[in-house]
Structure 1
């Protein structure tokens, strides 16, 4: 499924350098007794107090020699990319990490997800909220020294409307006037795109949509470089340029050595000035992340957040430890095509009857919190004014009784001759190693037979896309706009796919989903989403599980690195320096 915001596809990677997309939260095969991890509380922690944000190094004198000698190079860890280094054409999320250093958007987001200017100095929106006028910064250049103008922005938007475009960005969400006609070959240009002058472009849309600003203000392709062979309907020639990217970001591409690293050089033409660190490297070699930090081979990497890893990083003394809450959320999806989930009281009982706090505490050792809404606490749209669904098995039993599900002779609840037996699918992962035995025990107490099955992630996607499940667990990618975390609950758009609800339908939710995108006023949107989250709490489409922390560490000599929950380290790159 195409993303309505191109950088959304990789934002999870940019923050944590882990796998992206709708990842499964994982599971082990079902067990008849609790596993040790689920049955025992964590050992007392030796971890000193650590706060959200950057926790500074305590002893730089212990820095490994290899890292201490580097004076003009910053090295970060990254899983092997696919080699498609174009922000609009890659399908491997790790390629997004590579491109984020090379290409700069007109508009970015801050640490709360609000838009901030980048290549665009400012923008104006017409009173009817349909026309956007972007004013580019003066004297913008691509990394080869060629000028970046409004013509390049127009070219980029045109490519995204081409009938041959098969990338991840769904530009049609923005609804540019004449966009469909161009794609269908009924027009030679896109009516709603008007270049006013080299520094000004005006874009008219057909419908108010709060996502339009970030879509229209995305990264920019050079028309002279990427468009010299362009003819409508033919984008095949662009494949030859995927390994030779040209952008206007803080760094320019130098080399890609598969299985080893991606190399960059500081871009002397960057609008905010040439970065102070001349060389930037993504090290893609497989190995132990902590060991690479210990030996000084890397300056930055991410880690599973737990007390052991934090303690080991603290003992090093020479790293800054970064901790922040992810903008993603984990969940268990109901298959709303199943008759027993048609009654919202049954779904509510499944939430009340699952000890989510215990599951998260045992999995993340205090570095996650229970989610009760499809939005992270880091977002401007977050509210805690919803039902917290505390673990309450008696309340769950009452709801099941009211819904007509009565305990049978074997203790399993029944209704109209059907037993309440549910099948939960997932792939292997630490969260589900803990979740499965606890869920089996919790639901058994309610009179629900909970059966779990492990499979590889591709098989999980295939089965859930077909609706061959009762329950399945996943995690969202990083979510930039609040609409990204709820669009799947639409009656019209959210039925199929890995995150699809398979039948969830609520007219009030549909109305609020549209209202949330029908204005650009953040205060008005915030109130709409507050009402939406309350309705989703009353009529739950998912069991929301948790918001987890993201842990990373970097060489204490590297100054200015502050990972962003939405864009990770990419926004820090231009301002980094080595002490």
Structure 2
């Protein structure tokens, strides 16, 4: 079993502070955004009438606070405090992944449609049978210390991820590289399917086609000289001392990490695409109000729920550009399926019917959100509503399901079964959105006879530790930015959710990877989504609609729904 709680490939924003994309990281806390104003959280709020669809440029840059004006070579963006493990594939949280995404550039990335495109690699080839992938590396490519990046480094990275001692978030065995399993089991000294053709050309052969091979094999590259100097099969503990001192090939170099304060970066003069124009970048990790940070000029970019109220307030500042943003993510409640009450599908369905998700995620955000019912975002080509139960708020239906499952109402109004009360120990991250959820959930669950016990964490890593200890019933998370539909469902098939094992789901997952034909894959995912929508191994919550506001002096800012700020950051410039 790998150590992760859930699968994630790149991280969603939390607490209105920007997270950029990074492959293979943990989930982030669920939070539809801050800066939202609501009255009665269980009542209806006015719907947004003019959600933003195009960029609104700054109207009066002269209003920019002096704190920001004085920064001529530095950009500051907010981020929830990372743990300090910044080596790709070994991150302890998605926030570590945000740091790593600036330090490393992957061989392959995603375009605006979510399809693979060469990034650090110059090009790639795929054999006619779809089994062999050849990557062509740039001859002038280097790591940030000036050492060359070659095929040897790519081969080392793939080999390391096949090591039996590797317990990080990336399960490369799902790619079924020829000879990969034999190496992992110690039956071979090398991996048969990895072929170094020359110093800048490398191929990898799979046992069967996989639609995500380019994205998953074309990830970040680890320096063999740095990370592999002490490598011995089955022994990876030596890497721990390197995680806080990463060596990458990305646009920035880690200068210093000050826990609870900031992560400092400097531009990489050896970056393949040219040294970034912005000399210094800082992730501000200290706690505080995002609106205040933006209004005082302490941060240059922040995100907010896309309510009309928030958009109007941002317009009033005058000195920020406003960008609409819909990420390829979904929110959900992770359930402890090893707890008796959560094992029952009827209970999970009753919880979903009995919770007014429309009020929490849509009405309270003035329409800047959408209720989720499947593990794919509406911007995904795999998204469907056909055959999907919307689980509209229906407390009477919830009561019927609980009655049928044998949960009877006790004298105190709480349901009981076999001498045990129906109680939900909920874990969430501290935020205004969590406050709204708790207020509504307490009322909703009391009505259907469920005892609701919320526990809120200011520190995301503490929440993760609590989930790992299995001392919970329900915990709020959001997925990372999902590059491919398979990434939205992998947590249901790879053991990330203890207590859930459906052979049919696994069969469909494999079928969805076995072809690159989009229409064929759509049909597979439609069937898969219908099963997950019925069984609810997690409870789907919301899709986000956000806006980003950035210092109007910043040029070339764009936010990828698949890679966040990491893709455009090297092109940012500060207009003087």
Q: TM-score range by the shorter chain?
A: 0.7 to 0.9
CA contact (8 A) 2:438 2:454 kept: no
* Offset of residue 570 of structure 1: 0.7
**Which residue does 1:197 correspond to in 2?**
198
Distance 1:274 1:67 in 2: 23
Match of 1:38 among 11, 25, 41: 41
**Which residue does 2:515 correspond to in 1?**
519
Unaligned runs of 5+ in 2: 32-37
Residues 466 and 237 from structure 1, CA distance in 2 versus in 1: closer, same or farther, beyond 3 angstroms?
closer
**Which residue does 1:174 correspond to in 2?**
175
SS for the counterpart of 2:298 is coil
**Which residue does 1:246 correspond to in 2?**
247
**Which residue does 2:426 correspond to in 1?**
426
**1:479 aligned onto 2:475:** no
**1:531 aligned onto 2:544:** no
1:109-258 equivalent positions in 2, closer than 5 A: 109-257=110-258
Distance 2:573 2:418 in 1: 65
Distance 1:168 1:486 in 2: 15
**1:569 aligned onto 2:570:** no
* Offset of residue 51 of structure 1: 1.1
**1:557 aligned onto 2:558:** no
CA contact (8 A) 1:6 1:215 kept: no
**1:578 aligned onto 2:574:** yes
Distance 1:5 1:451 in 2: 26
Unaligned runs of 5+ in 1: 27-34
* Offset of residue 371 of structure 1: 0.8
Match of 2:492 among 489, 498, 503: 489
* Offset of residue 145 of structure 1: 3.1
CA contact (8 A) 1:313 1:319 kept: yes
**Farther-moved stretch of structure 1 (321-330 vs 144-153):** 321-330
SS for the counterpart of 2:160 is helix
**Which residue does 2:319 correspond to in 1?**
318
Residues 78 and 537 from structure 1, CA distance in 2 versus in 1: closer, same or farther, beyond 3 angstroms?
closer
Aligned residues: 558
* Offset of residue 474 of structure 1: 4.1
* Offset of residue 420 of structure 1: 11
* Offset of residue 574 of structure 1: 1.7
CA contact (8 A) 2:14 2:28 kept: no
TM-score using structure 2 length = 0.82
Query: RMSD across aligned C-alpha pairs, in angstroms?
Result: 4.0
Distance 2:176 2:522 in 1: 23
CA contact (8 A) 1:14 1:570 kept: no
1:222-241 C-alpha deviation (Å, 9 max, x unpaired): 22333344444454554454
1:341-352 equivalent positions in 2, closer than 5 A: 348=349, 350-352=351-353
**Which residue does 1:450 correspond to in 2?**
450
CA contact (8 A) 2:76 2:300 kept: yes
**Which residue does 1:387 correspond to in 2?**
389
SS for the counterpart of 2:41 is helix
CA contact (8 A) 2:7 2:26 kept: no
Residues 14 and 137 from structure 1, CA distance in 2 versus in 1: closer, same or farther, beyond 3 angstroms?
farther
**Which residue does 1:547 correspond to in 2?**
543
CA contact (8 A) 1:4 1:169 kept: no
* Offset of residue 572 of structure 1: 1.0
**Which residue does 1:31 correspond to in 2?**
none
Distance 2:298 2:410 in 1: 63
**Farther-moved stretch of structure 1 (279-288 vs 340-349):** 340-349
Residues 171 and 520 from structure 1, CA distance in 2 versus in 1: closer, same or farther, beyond 3 angstroms?
same
Distance 2:547 2:348 in 1: 33
* Offset of residue 383 of structure 1: 1.8
**Higher Rg of the two aligned structures:** 1
* Offset of residue 119 of structure 1: 1.4
**Which residue does 1:293 correspond to in 2?**
294
Residues 25 and 420 from structure 1, CA distance in 2 versus in 1: closer, same or farther, beyond 3 angstroms?
farther
Distance 2:439 2:16 in 1: 31
Distance 2:97 2:444 in 1: 41
SS for the counterpart of 1:389 is coil
